[in-house]
Structure 1
C-alpha cells in the first residue's frame, strides 16, 4: 500500500523519475495510478436513462426533459437572441426530431411549445408557433442521420465558446474537467456564414465523427450524446472549459510562463472515468433537479420518474 501511494505521487513527476523508482524498487505499477476509472460512477439504474415499453410514453418523457433542458440553458445565459437549438430524436418516428420553435426564449418553453421536424425540413407536429430555425434543421438533421447513437444535439452561441472558437484551436488538457473532452472534441475551422444549407450540415457532421463535441470556428459550441442529460451537461462543461482555457491563456501571456498540461496517460484515464455517456448522464442530473423547480416539480435525483 505504501508503494502504491508513492507511485501515485510520482504520477505528477516525470516518466523517467517514476520508471527509475519502479525499476529500483521492484514494484509493479498499476495500470491507473489514481485508481480504477470505473469507480467514478458505480453502474446502476441512476447512471442510465430510463427505458419505456411504449414509444409514445417515451416521447412524452423526452419532450418534458427537452423543455427542462431549455430552462437550464436559460439559467446559464445561453440564450442569445434567436440563435441556439437543442434537438431530440423522436422515439415514435426516429426520422424526425423535436426542437424549439424559432423566436421563443428558452426560459419560456414548455412541452407543448416544442415542434417536430422531419429530415426534409418539414414541421409535422408541435405548438402554435411552428416557425423553424432553418439552421437548426440544416445542422441537426445531418447529425441525427449520420449518428444513430445520438439522441440529443445542442448548439448555441455562448460568450466564452464564441471567444474560444475564434482562436482556431482545440482545448488543451489543463484540468480534470477538460479531460472529459480529451481526444473527444474537434475544431471545425470553416465559417461560411449562417448554416442554411444541408451540405454544410453534412460537413459539420463529418468533422464531428464519433466525438461528443465540436468547436465551430467563429461560431459556437456543439455537443451530442445518447441522452439529453449528458448532452446538456457536456455543453455546460464545454462552455466552462472554454472560459478556463481563455483565463489560463491570459495568465500565461501575463506571466510569460507556459501552461502545464496533463500527461497523455493521465488525461486518457480521466476521460475513461468521467467522459463516457453514463458519467455525462449522471453529471447532468443536478442541473435537471434545479430546472424542475420552474415547473413546481421534484423527482428523485432529478430523473423525472419518482416524485418526491
Structure 2
C-alpha cells in the first residue's frame, strides 16, 4: 500500500542526496533542446536500460565523490540542497540558467528535490525521470518547472536492482536512504505505473521521451502511445533514436518513420530528435 503524502516531503528537513557531477552544458534532449542549462546528476538507479549512456551513475558506493565544474572532486558525494545550490552557481559560466536534475534517478531523493527547489532563486528546476516512482513525482511536482518523462519499453529493461539501504548513506544519516517505492519488474507492472504517472502531468510543462532502438517492438511502442493518448493527450512526444551502445542498436530511418506515424495517427504532438549534445560532443 502506498502511504506517502504530499506534505511528507516538507516535514523532514536536512535531506541529502548523492551527487555524481554538476556542470554547465546545453540541453540535448526533449522540449528544451539546445537551451544552456546547469545539470545536477545524482547517483543511484535501480533500472538497467539497454540503451543507458550513463551506467556510471547507477551505483551507490563507499568513497564516492562529486565532480563539480570549476573545482576539484569533493571528499564526499553526499550533499545538502544548500551545498548543491552553491555548486550550481559555481558551475554557471555567467548568467544564471535553468537547472536540470538528471541521474541516475532523481526521484529516489524527493525530500532533497523539494528543498533544493527553494534554494535556486529564480532558476527553473527541471526534472528528468524514468517514471518508475509516481508517488515521489506527486510529492515534488509542484516545485518542478518541467518534467521530462521517459516512456520505457519493457523489452529495453533488464531486471531492476535493489539499491543498498542503510550502508548507502554516511554513518548517522540513514534518513537519506533512497525512496522505498517498489520498482516495476515486468511489462504489466510497467504499464500500471505508466498509467498512474501520466495523469500527474496534465496541465503541466512536461514532455514524454520515447527512446527507440533497432529492436523496439511495434506492439510495445503502440501500447505506450495509446496510453499517452488516453491519459495525457496534451503531452508532447519526443521520439529519440537510441545512441548506439553495446546492448542497443540505432534504429533505421524507416523504423523511426513508422513510430512517428503511429504517434501522429493518435493525434499526439510529435517530434523526432537525436541527442544533440552527443552530436556536438558536449557532456
Report the TM-score range of the alignment, normalised by the length of the smaller protein: under 0.3
TM score, norm. by length of structure 1: 0.25
Q: Larger C-alpha radius of gyration, 1 or 2?
A: 1
- Greater strand share, structure number: 2
